[in-house]
């Protein structure tokens, strides 16, 4: 067994504009973000020999390679769990590089998530005979937010968590988004605005839900050795873990601590060492429970923990400094990973001074990056 | 960069019955094959912590894990290129094990490929705006066999290859299938039978096409160290490579040598060292051209090479000893990988005496296994 700690780094990041209606194909968005990330790294498309994508991304690696002018791909892979694949994809890139399957690997996501398919609306998959959905669809549980609402209600019942505490997460993200010109929602909000926004899935208000958007983001990952010779300050990948608990990705049994906290042991650091965190925020209760999963506070204490500005810039644990899914754009974890790299380069619009360690939660996994 | 040569092994294989109508879900088939592979290895389901699947396989890892009694999956991944993903999946399993992401990994494929969706019939994807298909569907190129027919015609034009030479591949596979009780097509055929079978895609006859089937297969992969303590003789994984040339997986430009031949350099062996080969045979011309790609003969000499029994048991290069896709069942590369393991265990029904090295071609990649 070979540790991959610090052996690779994110050396390029690229994003399209985030919008409500891109007017372009997801393929076109993907290519723009990938080309920007390659250029950001100081590389050329021909230097790329691996592409790793979200399994829900329909474009084929072959087609993208042809469009980019890549003659051969020596590594291609995907990971499932829809938008939760982020850390799994970075893990694959690292594994491919460390074992010599590829040298420079692109990870990307492109969605017309607002003008095209709206993930938040859910769909009847008709997969009743195939597994997971057999236990939820017949009861009308179709949209992702419905599950989040049930998890939130359970947390409220067990621990006395309040809707206002969930609101503190929405307020913090919006405060950070206000500083970020890329963010789609930049008007500051108060806890009262959160409370007054309409109920979407009881007990979740509209402002507990992420903002679906069109756009694309990409990373270029290479070995630490090559990274040092490139254009940008490398964001070293200390550790990545994937976590898919039996019977669900954690949504169905939040009383069990997620295996994602193992990312700290893998990196050899502790939650208290984190300068800033980016946590998958499709819905506010997931953020609150992830904070508990990672041990930033005890189980059930997430509510009081997020109050009082602790998760805002200047607080003890600044969170989602680009505005996250709630206020920047719902790019399914890709914008969180990009923002983490920005923090380590010192170029965030909500920069944490001297940030050296960032935790990124990607729903079905986690990674820790360091300067 | 860390070589993965010989660091992992296939320690378990499992298959369902191959049939024309399984009468069961693909999920049920998958679970049977996986459980058999785990048992074959002398492991228990709880020992498995990674699942790697074909991207076209709709079942989720989470659901399978729950059904198998696996509490946590620390690695999950997929690879695209439809049935061509085989080597990519083994590569991912190896990478996950070598870098400590998982200890015992399952790779599987389950299809109701005859009673359910018939891959060979193709479909209008409507992905005209998304890439590859934009260049073929408008011209009526929809079924996989159409592309194979065009490649065959080009090869015939360039090198004088004949339909009877393609027939020699079908005859060899059927001869091997006749010894294999699992094979669906066991009645011996002659070159005349091949020539007299109806044209499906000119110049391809029915007997140039694989036999679509229902069934499932699975592998269990672990580290070489752990492998030695398990029940079966390990099939060590010397090398795996993936190859996705820009602009196609090779189908569109067969004049370019596939990158798959790099598997020999990675393993440190040469084509002449192979005792037996399993080559992805959805259509006979692919086999002939793969033989050239790997350097078993020169470009254009594949036709004469496969004649005269050379690829039959007892010949210089025994090929597809279970009957392959053409005569055992079209399990999209999974049955080729399983048969390769059997050859190294000495348990094939068309056993090559003392087989020590096997090449497996999985269309978009290749692997070499050794005893």
pLDDT digits (tens, 9 = 90+) for B181-209: 999 999 999 999 999 999 999 999 999 99
Parallel, antiparallel or unpaired: strands A105-112 and A214-223: antiparallel
Task: Give the residue-averaged pLDDT of B322-333.
Answer: 98
d(CA B127, CA A325): 28
Chain B 237-256, residues with CB within 8 Å of chain A CB atoms: 241-249
Per-position pLDDT tens, chain A of length 371: 568 999 999 999 999 999 999 999 999 999 999 999 999 999 999 999 999 999 999 888 888 998 998 888 999 999 998 899 999 999 999 999 999 999 999 999 999 999 998 988 877 766 544 556 777 788 888 888 998 999 999 999 999 999 999 999 999 999 999 999 999 999 999 999 999 999 999 999 999 999 999 999 999 999 999 999 999 999 999 999 998 754 444 444 444 456 899 999 999 999 999 999 999 999 999 999 999 999 999 999 999 999 999 999 999 999 999 999 999 999 999 999 999 999 999 999 999 999 999 999 999 999 999 99
C-alpha span between A324 and A343 (Å, rounded) = 14
Q: Return the pLDDT at A243.
A: 87
pLDDT of residue B252: 43
Tell which B residues from 205 to 224 touch A, by Cβ distance under 8 Å: 223
Q: How far is A332 from chain B (nearest CA, A)?
A: 17
Q: Tell whether B135 lies on the interface with A, counting CB pairs under 8 A.
A: no
Nearest to A314 by CA among A350, A288, A363: A350
Chain A residues with CB under 8 Å of B67 CB are: 131
Rounded to 5°, the CA angle B104-B276-B36 comes to: 30
Of A298-307, A355-364, B39-48, B238-247, give the lowest mean pLDDT range.
Answer: B238-247
B330 is catalytic: yes
Name the residue among B369, B371, B367 with its Cα closest to residue B89.
B367
Smallest CA–CA separation between A220 and chain B, in Å? 18
Instruction: For chain B, positions 293-352, list CB contacts with chain A under 8 A.
Output: none
What percent of chain B has pLDDT above 70? 94
A chain contacts of residue B61, beta-carbon cutoff 8 Å:
80, 244
Q: pTM of the entire structure?
A: 0.96
Domains present along chain B, CATH in parentheses: 8-117+213-240 (3.40.47.10), 140-209+254-366 (3.40.47.10)
Cα–Cα distance between B125 and B94 in angstroms, integer?
A: 33
- In this prediction, residue A63 carries a pLDDT of 85
What pLDDT is stored for residue B132 in this prediction? 65
Going along B46-177, which residue ranges are E strands? Answer: 50-54, 72-73, 75-79, 105-112
For chain B, report the end-to-end CA distance as a whole number of angstroms. Answer: 25
Q: What is the DSSP string of A64-125?
A: HHHHHT--EESEEEEE-SGGGGHHHHHHHHHHHHHTTS-SSEEEEEEEETTTS--GGG----
- Mean pLDDT score of chain B: 93
**Closest in B76, B96, B242 to A75, CB measured:** B242
Rounded average pLDDT over B25-51: 97
Q: Is B280 among the residues known to form the active site?
A: yes
> Which of A18, A119, A280, A294 is an active site residue?
A280
Distances (CA, A) of A133 to A82, A246, B29: 14, 15, 19
Contacts of A147 by beta carbon, 8 Å cutoff, 6+ apart? A136, A141, A251, A252
Give the DSSP H or E segment for B263: helix B262-267
Q: Compute CA distances B210 → A264, A292, B312, whole Å.
A: 49, 53, 18
Beta-bridge mates of residue A215: A111
* CB atoms B58 and A259 under 8 Å: no
Q: Which of B59, B101, B131 sits opposite A63 (nearest CB)?
A: B131
User: What is the 8-class DSSP label of residue A212?
Assistant: B
Q: Do A27 and B1 lie within an 8 Å CB cutoff?
A: no
Q: What angle do CA B229, B234, B240 make, to 5 degrees?
A: 130
Nearest CA to B313 out of B174, B185, B187 is that of B174
Neighbours of B308 (CB within 10 A): 11
Inter-chain CB proximity B99 and A3 less than 8 Å: yes
The string of pLDDT tens digits covering residues B65-107 is 989 988 889 999 999 988 999 999 999 999 999 999 999 999 9
* pLDDT score at A57: 94
B225/B208 Cα distance (integer angstroms): 42
Rounded Cα gap, residues A123 and B350, in angstroms: 49
Residue of A60, A61, A243 to mutate, testing the B interface (most B Cβ within 10 Å of its Cβ): A60
pLDDT band for B248, please (50, 70, 90 cuts): very low
Provide the number of CB pairs (under 8 Å) joining chain A to chain B: 191
Q: Is A92 on the interface with B (CB under 8 A)?
A: yes
Q: Which residues pair with B359 in a beta bridge?
A: B277, B368
CA atoms of A329 and A214, how far apart (whole Å): 8
B352-355: Cβ within 8 A, 24+ apart: B352/B275, B352/B276, B352/B313, B352/B318, B352/B321, B354/B275, B355/B275, B355/B276
Contact A53, A78 (CB under 8 A): yes
Q: Does A196 touch chain B (CB under 8 A)?
A: no
Q: How far apart are CA A185 and CA A327, in angstroms?
A: 5
Cα separation, B253 vs A270, in Å, equals: 52
Contact residues on chain A for B73, CB-CB shorter than 8 A:
242-246
Token couple for A103: 């040298």
The whole-angstrom separation of Cα B109 and Cα A69 is 32
Confidence of residue B2 (pLDDT cuts 50, 70, 90): low
Of B62, B75, B131, the CB nearest to A249: B62
CA distance A293 to A263: 11
Q: Is A22 exposed, middle or buried (0-12, 13-18, 19+ CB in 10 A)?
A: buried
**B76 neighbourhood in chain A, CB within 8 Å:** 79-81, 88, 242, 244
């Amino acid at each position: 067994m070979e540790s991959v700690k610090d052996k690779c780094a994110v050396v390029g990041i690229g994003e399209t504009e985030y919008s409500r209606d891109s007017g372009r194909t997801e393929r076109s968005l993907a290519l723009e973000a990938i080309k920007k990330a390659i250029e950001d790294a100081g590389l050329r498309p021909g230097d790329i020999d691996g592409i790793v994508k979200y399994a829900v991304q329909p474009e084929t690696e072959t087609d993208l390679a042809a469009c980019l002018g890549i003659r051969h791909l020596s590594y291609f892979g995907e990971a499932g769990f829809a938008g939760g694949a982020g850390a799994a994809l970075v893990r694959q890139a690292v594994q491919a590089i460390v074992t010599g399957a590829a040298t420079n690997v692109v990870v990307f996501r492109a969605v017309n998530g607002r003008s095209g398919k709206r993930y938040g609306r859910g769909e009847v998959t008709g997969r009743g005979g195939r597994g997971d959905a057999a236990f939820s669809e017949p009861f009308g549980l179709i949209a992702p937010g419905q599950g989040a609402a049930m998890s939130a209600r359970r947390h409220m019942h067990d621990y006395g968590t309040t809707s206002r505490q969930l609101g503190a997460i929405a307020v913090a993200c919006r405060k950070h988004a206000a500083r970020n010109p890329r963010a789609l929602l930049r008007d500051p909000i108060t806890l009262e605005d959160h409370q007054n926004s309409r109920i979407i899935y009881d007990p979740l208000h509209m402002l507990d839900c992420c903002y679906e958007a069109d756009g694309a983001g990409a990373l270029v990952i290479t070995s630490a050795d090559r990274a040092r010779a490139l254009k940008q300050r490398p964001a070293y990948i200390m550790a990545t873990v994937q976590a898919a608990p039996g019977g669900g990705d954690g949504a169905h049994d939040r009383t069990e601590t997620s295996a994602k906290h193992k990312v700290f042991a893998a990196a050899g650091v502790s939650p208290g060492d984190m300068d800033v965190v980016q946590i998958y925020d499709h819905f506010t209760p997931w953020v609150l429970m992830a904070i508990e999963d990672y041990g930033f506070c005890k189980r059930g204490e997430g509510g009081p923990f997020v109050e009082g500005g602790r998760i805002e810039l200047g607080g003890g644990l600044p969170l989602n400094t680009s505005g996250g899914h709630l206020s920047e754009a719902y790019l399914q974890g890709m914008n969180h990973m990009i923002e983490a790299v920005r923090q380590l380069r010192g170029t965030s619009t909500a920069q944490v001074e001297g940030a050296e360690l960032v935790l990124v939660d990607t729903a079905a996994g986690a990674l820790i990056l360091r300067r």
